[in-house]
A and B are shown apart, each in its own frame.
Chain A
Amino acid sequence: MPSITVNGVEIELDDDGFIIDPDLWNEDVAKAFAASEGIKELTEDHWKVINYLREYFKQYHIAPMVRKLCKETGCSLKYIYELFPSGPAKGACKLAGLPKPTGCV
């Protein structure tokens, strides 16, 4: 089982590198994921997207519609791809500690 170690804590990941237990997420985990995604630094806009995803997930146990994510954060889809090169689902959701989206997405 793949894992990453953040601040001395070993965190289990699935085969796609998504966190298995969302409760183990913290900001340093997001930073560690950022490095593995080739994101140099997490800017204010990165955090805006990550925090929105986390809040939404906490309430609804699912990621929001991509259109809603864009609208609520004020980031266009193109800009989200600039922030998270793997895109909203495979990039932003991973950094926010959400499970990998499944189905026809």
Chain B
Amino acid sequence: MPEYKGMVQPVRATPDEMRKIHIEPVPDEEKPQKALEYLDEIRKKFRSFVLAMESCTKCGQCAENCHTYLGTRDPNNIPTNRAELIRKIYRRYFTLEGRWFGKLVGAEDISLDIIEQWYSYFYQCSQCRRCAHVCPFGIDTCEVTFIGRQILHWLGITPKLHASVGAAMERVGNHTNLPKPGIVDTLEFMTEEIMDEFGVEVEFPVDKPESDIMYIPSSADFLLNPYTLMGAGMFFTYIGANWTIPSTVTEAGNFGLLFDQYYTQRHNVMRLLNAAQDLGVKKIVWGECGHGWRAAKMYIPSLADRPVRWPITHIHDEVADMIRKNELKLDPAKNSQPVTLHDPCNYVRACGLNENMRVIMRACVSDFREMEPHGMDNFCCGGGSGILFDDPEMYQRRIQLSQKKADQVRATGVGKNGDGILCAPCSICKAQLYPMVEEHELGVEVKGLIDLVGKALVWK
């Protein structure tokens, strides 16, 4: 059970696992000095980080707005205090008052204990940015934990889950270690399932040259989310698209955003652009994945190593656009169970998908009930940024972190008769909520949004 001086911590990658993702772990005795060097390098580069370090007045607005704090009541999980774990070091070494007056002004010397504290608390933050949304100064604690996690990574401290995802991505092009024969077999199975359930012939072309659309699904869909894959295939077939799924990058996620924005995140981007170029596509359409869509939409333009010749859109944007143009016939009566929508944080606070998800929802289901708060004000599912750790200690923490979401779902009444649907169109949200709706006994089934589109389509 991973714990350090009473703090919960995720299981960490071994030195060999770190080397697989190109990091040579720093020996413990050198970690504090190296951490300072990395911090110094990064602070000179990111004004968003310096803003967070210099501007906080400790007004406390963020505290009750953070689901991690609400679920754990641990003062270090208040966003401003979480940032303080790094701010006190910043102050000590990089401000005049900290260098002169030290502890008197809340500055502290760097030590191994501090670094271990970063590891515990920066991986309890789900980087949902709800604190940034309510901060009167616009301080984004997500930027702080991004940088904290980056420094930890360079020191050789990364959760086993994140490191194994990084290694899998580099080895096969997706997070779940799916090789091409497995991808093709699962897609053939989906074709059969669609025929059995909907009586429609849907092909899932893999690596088809000269396709117009390259669809990037989440690899978790191949193991856990059949209706998300089926819905996408049915949608593309319905609109008569010339589309394909690339076997070299069958992954909408990019965990690099979450622990290594240098090598890991960039490598995934190059891989994507190579696939688009090799297959000669005209457009890239993204599948259901929250952090991955933020990484694609907001980061590819600045991380790409060549001009990006392809428009990159989200499948929700594509579907909503078709609905607005009256080009999809959808029957909401085909989804007649009560449905509520969990907004993936990255969609609504980073990518502007808010209204389009609702356009789709209104067209596809007959009993849609908003949870409160929702849209840009939503709360995280508790698994955001891939903190899906499943050792017993961290699993208990996940239950605490999803408490706020459970309360919200319950208040909608959708699960009252045990037949509700909790739509959560993101793979991390799904992976977090599948077990959490059972732990909190919510009476709902977790589904994606494209799942509901597939079911509602009316075929000619």
State the A residues within 8 Å of B (CB). 15-16, 59-68, 89-90, 99, 101-105
CB-CB under 8 A for A62 and B178, given A103-B219, A104-B386? yes
Is there a chain A Cβ closer than 8 Å to B102's Cβ? no
Residues of A within 8 A of B168 (CB): 102-103
Q: A68-B189, A90-B390 are in contact. Are A105 and B182 (CB under 8 A)?
A: no
A68 to B187, CA, bound (A): 11
- The B contact surface, by secondary structure, is helix
**From DSSP, what is the main secondary structure of chain A's interface residues?**
loop
Taking CB as reference atom, which chain A residue is nearest B166?
A: A102
B226 A102 Cβ-Cβ under 8 A: no
Contacts of A59 in B (CB 8 A): 181
Residues in chain B within 8 A of chain A (CB atoms): 11, 160-161, 164-165, 168, 174-179, 181-182, 185-186, 189, 193, 218-220, 222-224, 226, 253, 289, 386, 388, 390-391, 427-428, 430-431
Contacts of A63 in B (CB 8 A): 223
CA distance A15 to B390 in the complex (A): 12
Are the CB atoms of A104 and B175 closer together than 8 Å?
Answer: yes
Assembly CA distance A75 to B117 (angstroms) = 44
Q: Give me 30 A-to-B residue pairs in the complex whose CB atoms sit less than 8 angstroms apart, sorted by A's number.
A: A15-B391, A16-B11, A59-B181, A60-B181, A60-B185, A61-B182, A62-B178, A62-B179, A63-B223, A65-B189, A65-B222, A67-B189, A89-B223, A90-B390, A99-B177, A101-B176, A102-B161, A102-B165, A102-B168, A102-B177, A103-B174, A103-B219, A103-B220, A104-B175, A104-B289, A104-B427, A104-B430, A104-B431, A105-B223, A105-B431
Knowing A15-B11, A62-B177, the reply to whether A67 touches B226 (Cβ < 8 A) is yes
Given contact pairs A61-B179, A62-B179, A67-B226, A104 touches B220 in the complex (Cβ within 8 A): yes
**Most B CB atoms within 10 A — which of A64, A102, A104, A105?**
A104
By the criterion CB–CB under 8 Å, are A15 and B160 in contact?
A: yes
B230's nearest neighbour on chain A, judged by CB, is: A67
A101 to B391, CA, bound (A): 14
Q: How far, in angstroms, from A64 to B182 measured CA to CA in the complex?
A: 8
